[in-house]
Amino acid sequence: MAFTAVVKASPFKVKGMARIASHHPIPSCFAISLFFFMGVEYTLKMVPSSSPPKDIGFLLTENIHGFLSTRPVFNSLLAALNTVFVGMQAVYVGWVFLVEERPRATIAALFMFTCRGVMGYCTQLPLPHEFLSSGVDFPVGNVSFFLFFSGHIAGAMIASLDMRRMKRRRLALVFDYLNALQAFRLLATRGHYTIDLAVGLAAGFFFDILAGKYAAWKSNIMPSGFYQGADCSCCNGNCR
């Protein structure tokens, strides 16, 4: 009876809540998941400090990791191909800046790598014990290894978003596919934790939006150079 009285007195009645859920299913699922993970947070036992970190992505790629650990030549081949993909990202970002005179992707990459450097320095995560290194991986020779967050994933996301703005959808799909393979390899070789990849993906979106806002702001105070005129036919120059 008390619960019924609360429901009737509340401005959010049952029908209203059902209508909200039907019109906004995704936020409603997030709301349900909020309460679920609140329960998980208070019942899940943390990993002891003497144990290695627990990573679901590592568990899912355990067989691939075992396969690569016994085949160092094949592991280096995959590392070399991944380094080529990183080079493709850099070439594309440089091309759109120097040749097409569109600085947004370059600004996003600069913002992203600066933030990654600061965060990687402030919180230095331990390199996984099962990490499979290769001299042809990037960073070359593993000279430095900031784990959080993944610049590989974020850089590819920035390039893919720029391709979509310019209606280069097929090329964007190729980059997305290679990015997924890259993420799988990074997990299998223990080159990144799962959270590094997830945040790297979000960082690509965030810094692309931030660079777009920066470009729009500069276009208002500097109506010349890179920020003047239309950039493409789809958005009257807003996709720079």
Q: Which amino acid is at 181?
A: L
The verdict on whether 152 is a catalytic residue reads: yes
The verdict on whether 231 is a catalytic residue reads: no
Q: Going by C-beta distance under 8 Å and a sequence separation of 6 or more, which residues neighbour residue 166?
A: 232, 234, 239
Angle at 117 between CA 239 and CA 89, to 5 degrees: 45
Tokens found for residue 56: 């679901």
Q: Which of 55, 65, 137, 192 is catalytic?
A: 192
**What is the Cα–Cα distance from 82 to 69, expressed in whole angstroms?**
17
Q: Which of 152, 162, 208, 231 is catalytic?
A: 152
Angle at 151 between CA 147 and CA 154, to 5 degrees: 130
Tokens found for residue 42: 């208070």
Q: Which of 137, 196, 208, 231 is catalytic?
A: 196
The verdict on whether 24 is a catalytic residue reads: no
Which residues are catalytically annotated?
A: 152, 192, 196
